[in-house]
Amino acid sequence: MTVPSIRTAVTISLVPQAKGGPFVFWDDLGQGIAQAAELGFDAIELFAPGPDAVSATELRKQLADHQLKLAAVGTGAGWVIHKLSLTDADAQVRRKAVDFIRSMIDFGGANGAPAIIGSMQGRWGGSVDRVTARGWLGEALVELGEHARQYNVPLLYEPLNRYETNLCHTQGDGVLLLEEAGATNARLLADLFHMNIEEVDIAAGLRQSAHWLGHVHCVDTTRCAAGVGHMDWPPIVQALREIQYSGYVSAECLPWPNSKAAAEQTIRKYRQLFS
């Protein structure tokens, strides 16, 4: 169906506090997995409340039964539920944030999947200046990337738009952050929703990430499923081909008009774009 190098994933959220967020399937892991398989996705991306919400063994079995992979696990529950961030002014909170992400790396790693650092990066402000916060973030990306190595997966770092962080907004700046920190086992996550707000040119941003690119949240300008918006797709597909991107395109999008329709729309558009 799709070219072997680009694989497809769809999101499942098990975090009630994230209701209203950009996830296709909600609450019921088994049902989400069954629907993802039925539609022909290669994998699911899981947003879980913590490392113990689902047993890694049980997850492995359910995925194997449906011939699905785990593409990635989100860590945003550490922020949404526990208000932990890697750039909090309080060293104890920063340490708890690192520990939470370590446990999510273990959870994902047990199923061959990387963990994503998005909202857990936090923001600078108050008593913490930008350079200090970027320094703490860089150190955490090194430490957590090294922790992920044992599972042969990278750590995924996601630049976010200006309304969600003030630390790093673009792929180009993400490359700088990883290079300056020496985070050699971290890779960038390109979320086209954030990129549509922050990049001068989305395709150029993807080219800038080049070998640092590890995952794509592939959604439309509306944050609905690909195809439900005014994204200019041909240059994006061309850029991914040029940099020989071989990771997942994942539907971290709103369940609009409902979960099933968003998933169907996504897989239809992914096949059209990436076949």
Choose one: 37-45, 111-119, 146-154, 203-211; the region binding ligand LER (CB under 6 A).
111-119
Nearer to ligand LER, 119 or 171 (CB): 119
Does position 116 interact with ligand LER (CB under 6 A)? The reply is yes
Q: For residues 200-259, which are near ligand LER according to CB under 6 A?
A: 217, 252
CA angle, 203 as apex, 202 and 206 as ends, to 5°? 90
Nearest-angstrom CA–CA distance, 132 and 111: 34
Least distance CB 234 / ligand LER (angstroms): 24
Residue 98 and residue 85 in contact, taking contact as beta carbons nearer than 8 Å: no
> Among 76, 78, 159, 214, which residue sits at the site for ligand LER (rule: CB under 6 A)?
76
Instruction: Convert residues 149-188 into a mask of x (bound to ligand LER by CB under 6 A) and - (unbound).
Output: ---------x-x---x------------------------
State the nearest-atom distance from the C-beta of 169 to ligand LER, in Å. Answer: 12
Indicate the residue among 64 and 162 with the shorter CB distance to ligand LER. 162
User: By rule CB under 6 A, what count of residues binds ligand LER?
Assistant: 11
Can you tell me the distance from the alpha carbon of 21 to that of 4, in angstroms, rounded to the nearest whole number?
30
Which secondary-structure segment (H or E) carries 44?
strand 43-47
- The residue type of 4 is P
Q: How far apart are CA 60 and CA 256, in angstroms?
A: 29
Q: Which stretch binds Mn ion (CB under 5 A): 82-90, 170-178, 203-211, 214-222?
A: 214-222
74 binds ligand LER (CB under 6 A): yes
Q: Is the peptide bond before 4 cis (omega within 30 degrees of 0)?
A: no
Write the burial class of residue 60 (CB in 10 Å: 0-12 exposed, 13-18 middle, 19+ buried): middle
Contacts 24+ apart (CB under 8 A), 126-131: 126/89, 127/89, 128/87, 128/89, 130/166, 130/167
Shorter beta-carbon distance to ligand LER: residue 54 or 254 = 254
Beta carbon of residue 194, minimum distance to ligand LER (angstroms, whole number): 6
Query: CA-CA distance, 88 to 4, in Å (whole number)?
Result: 41
- Segment interacting with Mn ion, rule: CB under 5 A, options 2-10, 132-140, 142-150, 215-223: 215-223
In the complex, the residues that contact ligand LER under the rule CB under 6 A are 74, 76, 116, 118-119, 158, 160, 164, 191, 217, 252
